[in-house]
Protein backbone atom coordinates (compact mmCIF):
# COMPACT_ATOMS: atom_id res chain seq x y z
CA UNK A 1 0.00 0.00 0.00
CA UNK A 2 2.80 2.39 0.90
CA UNK A 3 4.64 1.70 -2.36
CA UNK A 4 1.44 2.14 -4.37
CA UNK A 5 0.80 5.56 -2.81
CA UNK A 6 4.33 6.73 -3.59
CA UNK A 7 4.09 5.39 -7.15
CA UNK A 8 0.80 7.25 -7.64
CA UNK A 9 2.42 10.44 -6.32
CA UNK A 10 5.28 10.08 -8.81
CA UNK A 11 2.82 9.31 -11.62
CA UNK A 12 0.91 12.54 -10.97
CA UNK A 13 4.22 14.43 -10.89
CA UNK A 14 5.09 12.89 -14.27
CA UNK A 15 1.75 13.96 -15.77
CA UNK A 16 2.17 17.50 -14.48
CA UNK A 17 5.75 17.61 -15.81
CA UNK A 18 4.50 16.66 -19.28
CA UNK A 19 1.87 19.41 -19.16
CA UNK A 20 4.48 21.90 -17.93
CA UNK A 21 6.75 21.04 -20.85
CA UNK A 22 3.86 21.32 -23.32
CA UNK A 23 3.04 24.81 -22.08
CA UNK A 24 6.65 25.94 -22.40
CA UNK A 25 6.92 24.45 -25.87
CA UNK A 26 3.65 26.06 -26.98
CA UNK A 27 4.77 29.48 -25.75
CA UNK A 28 8.11 29.09 -27.49
CA UNK A 29 6.42 28.05 -30.75
CA UNK A 30 4.27 31.18 -30.51
CA UNK A 31 7.33 33.39 -30.34
CA UNK A 32 7.41 34.01 -26.58
CA UNK A 33 11.10 34.14 -25.72
CA UNK A 34 10.92 34.45 -21.94
CA UNK A 35 9.20 31.16 -21.09
CA UNK A 36 10.87 28.66 -18.75
CA UNK A 37 11.86 26.47 -21.70
CA UNK A 38 13.48 29.34 -23.56
CA UNK A 39 15.42 30.37 -20.45
CA UNK A 40 16.52 26.77 -19.93
CA UNK A 41 17.87 26.73 -23.47
CA UNK A 42 19.94 29.85 -22.78
CA UNK A 43 21.23 28.56 -19.44
CA UNK A 44 22.33 25.24 -20.93
CA UNK A 45 23.90 27.07 -23.88
CA UNK A 46 21.62 25.27 -26.31
CA UNK A 47 19.58 28.22 -27.59
CA UNK A 48 16.53 27.84 -29.77
CA UNK A 49 16.40 29.30 -33.24
CA UNK A 50 13.71 29.76 -35.86
CA UNK A 51 13.81 28.58 -39.45
CA UNK A 52 11.32 29.37 -42.16
CA UNK A 53 9.80 26.49 -44.05
CA UNK A 54 8.63 26.79 -47.62
CA UNK A 55 5.48 24.83 -46.78
CA UNK A 56 4.41 27.05 -43.89
CA UNK A 57 4.04 30.73 -43.22
CA UNK A 58 5.01 30.27 -39.55
CA UNK A 59 8.62 29.81 -38.41
CA UNK A 60 9.69 26.43 -37.06
CA UNK A 61 11.47 26.14 -33.71
CA UNK A 62 14.70 24.12 -33.86
CA UNK A 63 17.68 23.23 -31.66
CA UNK A 64 17.32 23.78 -27.90
CA UNK A 65 18.08 21.52 -24.92
CA UNK A 66 18.02 17.75 -25.14
CA UNK A 67 14.80 15.89 -24.39
CA UNK A 68 16.37 14.40 -21.26
CA UNK A 69 17.31 17.85 -19.93
CA UNK A 70 13.84 19.23 -20.59
CA UNK A 71 12.06 16.30 -18.93
CA UNK A 72 14.31 16.22 -15.87
CA UNK A 73 13.93 19.98 -15.42
CA UNK A 74 10.14 19.80 -15.82
CA UNK A 75 9.90 16.93 -13.32
CA UNK A 76 12.20 18.81 -10.94
CA UNK A 77 9.93 21.86 -11.09
CA UNK A 78 6.73 19.88 -10.48
CA UNK A 79 8.29 17.99 -7.57
CA UNK A 80 9.47 21.20 -5.91
CA UNK A 81 5.99 22.69 -6.28
CA UNK A 82 4.20 19.55 -5.08
CA UNK A 83 6.39 19.34 -1.97
CA UNK A 84 6.06 23.09 -1.27
CA UNK A 85 9.83 23.58 -1.53
CA UNK A 86 10.05 25.86 -4.57
CA UNK A 87 13.74 26.73 -4.93
CA UNK A 88 12.96 29.31 -7.62
CA UNK A 89 15.67 28.40 -10.12
CA UNK A 90 12.86 27.20 -12.41
CA UNK A 91 9.84 29.47 -12.26
CA UNK A 92 6.69 30.40 -14.14
CA UNK A 93 7.23 33.38 -16.42
CA UNK A 94 4.37 33.58 -18.92
CA UNK A 95 0.68 33.95 -18.11
CA UNK A 96 -0.04 30.37 -19.18
CA UNK A 97 2.73 29.07 -16.94
CA UNK A 98 1.50 31.08 -13.96
CA UNK A 99 -2.09 29.88 -14.38
CA UNK A 100 -0.93 26.27 -14.60
CA UNK A 101 1.34 26.68 -11.58
CA UNK A 102 -1.55 28.03 -9.49
CA UNK A 103 -3.73 25.06 -10.44
CA UNK A 104 -0.87 22.64 -9.80
CA UNK A 105 -0.24 24.04 -6.32
CA UNK A 106 -3.91 23.62 -5.39
CA UNK A 107 -3.96 20.04 -6.66
CA UNK A 108 -0.61 19.27 -5.05
CA UNK A 109 -1.72 20.60 -1.66
CA UNK A 110 -4.71 18.26 -1.60
CA UNK A 111 -2.72 15.33 -2.99
CA UNK A 112 0.18 15.86 -0.59
CA UNK A 113 -2.10 16.00 2.44
CA UNK A 114 -4.09 12.94 1.35
CA UNK A 115 -1.22 10.65 0.34
CA UNK A 116 1.23 11.46 3.09
CA UNK A 117 -1.57 11.42 5.64
CA UNK A 118 -2.19 7.81 4.62
CA UNK A 119 1.55 7.12 4.68
CA UNK A 120 1.77 8.40 8.25
CA UNK A 121 -1.16 6.19 9.28
CA UNK A 122 0.39 3.11 7.65
CA UNK A 123 3.76 3.69 9.34
CA UNK A 124 2.07 4.19 12.71
CA UNK A 125 0.14 0.95 12.30
CA UNK A 126 3.30 -0.94 11.35
CA UNK A 127 5.19 0.53 14.30
CA UNK A 128 2.34 -0.22 16.70
CA UNK A 129 2.10 -3.86 15.59
CA UNK A 130 5.87 -4.34 15.87
CA UNK A 131 5.98 -2.76 19.33
CA UNK A 132 3.10 -4.96 20.49
CA UNK A 133 4.91 -8.06 19.22
CA UNK A 134 8.18 -7.23 20.99
CA UNK A 135 6.34 -6.32 24.22
CA UNK A 136 4.63 -9.69 24.16
CA UNK A 137 7.94 -11.52 23.66
CA UNK A 138 9.57 -9.57 26.49
CA UNK A 139 6.66 -10.35 28.82
CA UNK A 140 6.89 -14.06 28.03
CA UNK A 141 10.64 -14.08 28.62
CA UNK A 142 10.30 -12.23 31.91
CA UNK A 143 7.55 -14.61 33.05
CA UNK A 144 9.63 -17.70 32.29
CA UNK A 145 12.69 -16.15 33.90
CA UNK A 146 10.72 -15.26 37.04
CA UNK A 147 9.32 -18.78 37.39
CA UNK A 148 12.62 -20.44 36.41
CA UNK A 149 11.14 -22.40 33.53
CA UNK A 150 13.61 -24.99 32.14
CA UNK A 151 15.47 -23.94 29.01
CA UNK A 152 14.03 -26.70 26.81
CA UNK A 153 10.49 -25.84 27.83
CA UNK A 154 11.07 -22.10 27.47
CA UNK A 155 12.30 -22.62 23.91
CA UNK A 156 9.17 -24.60 23.08
CA UNK A 157 7.02 -21.87 24.60
CA UNK A 158 8.80 -19.18 22.58
CA UNK A 159 8.38 -21.20 19.39
CA UNK A 160 4.69 -21.57 20.15
CA UNK A 161 4.27 -17.85 20.86
CA UNK A 162 6.10 -16.82 17.69
CA UNK A 163 4.21 -19.27 15.47
CA UNK A 164 0.88 -18.28 17.02
CA UNK A 165 1.59 -14.60 16.39
CA UNK A 166 2.55 -15.38 12.80
CA UNK A 167 -0.84 -17.03 12.26
CA UNK A 168 -3.04 -14.58 14.16
CA UNK A 169 -1.07 -11.32 13.76
CA UNK A 170 -1.94 -10.50 17.36
CA UNK A 171 -5.69 -11.02 16.94
CA UNK A 172 -7.53 -11.55 20.19
CA UNK A 173 -9.72 -14.56 19.38
CA UNK A 174 -11.65 -14.26 22.65
CA UNK A 175 -12.71 -10.74 21.73
CA UNK A 176 -13.60 -11.85 18.21
CA UNK A 177 -15.74 -14.69 19.55
CA UNK A 178 -17.49 -12.42 22.05
CA UNK A 179 -18.65 -10.24 19.17
CA UNK A 180 -21.57 -12.60 18.63
CA UNK A 181 -23.12 -11.29 21.84
CA UNK A 182 -24.27 -8.22 19.93
CA UNK A 183 -26.29 -10.43 17.57
CA UNK A 184 -26.51 -7.57 15.07
CA UNK A 185 -24.20 -8.59 12.26
CA UNK A 186 -25.71 -10.69 9.51
CA UNK A 187 -24.70 -11.64 6.02
CA UNK A 188 -27.29 -11.55 3.23
CA UNK A 189 -29.96 -11.66 5.95
CA UNK A 190 -29.11 -15.32 6.47
CA UNK A 191 -28.28 -15.29 10.16
CA UNK A 192 -25.55 -14.37 12.56
CA UNK A 193 -22.08 -14.29 10.99
CA UNK A 194 -20.06 -15.13 14.15
CA UNK A 195 -22.27 -18.18 14.73
CA UNK A 196 -21.60 -19.38 11.22
CA UNK A 197 -17.88 -18.79 11.66
CA UNK A 198 -17.86 -20.87 14.83
CA UNK A 199 -19.10 -23.87 12.87
CA UNK A 200 -16.16 -23.87 10.45
CA UNK A 201 -13.13 -26.09 10.65
CA UNK A 202 -10.91 -23.01 10.83
CA UNK A 203 -12.47 -21.94 14.11
CA UNK A 204 -12.09 -25.44 15.51
CA UNK A 205 -8.38 -25.40 14.72
CA UNK A 206 -8.04 -21.93 16.27
CA UNK A 207 -9.80 -23.21 19.38
CA UNK A 208 -7.25 -25.99 19.80
CA UNK A 209 -4.42 -23.47 19.54
CA UNK A 210 -5.76 -20.97 22.03
CA UNK A 211 -7.58 -23.09 24.58
Average pLDDT over residues 130-148: 85
pLDDT score recorded for residue 177: 62
With a CB cutoff of 8 Å and minimum separation 6, the contacts of 69 are: 40, 44, 46
Range(s) for CATH 1.10.287 in the chain?
2-118
| CA torsion through residues 55, 61, 66, 72, sign | negative
Cβ neighbours around 31 below 10 Å, total: 10
Does 158 have pLDDT greater than 80? yes
Over residues 46-87, the pLDDT tens digits come to 888 878 776 667 677 788 889 999 999 999 999 998 887 767
Cβ atoms of 133 and 27 within 8 Å: the answer is no
Calculate the average pLDDT of the chain. Answer: 78
| CATH architecture under which domain 2-118 falls | Orthogonal Bundle (1.10)
Does 130 have pLDDT greater than 70? yes
Q: Does the model's pTM come out above 0.75? A: no
Cβ neighbours around 65 below 10 Å, total: 20
Amino acid sequence: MLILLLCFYMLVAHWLACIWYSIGRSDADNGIQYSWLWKLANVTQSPYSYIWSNDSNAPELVNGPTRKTMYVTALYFTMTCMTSVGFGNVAAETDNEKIFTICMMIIAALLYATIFGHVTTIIQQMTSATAKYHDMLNNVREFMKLHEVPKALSERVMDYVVSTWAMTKGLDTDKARSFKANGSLSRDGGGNVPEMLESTELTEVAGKLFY
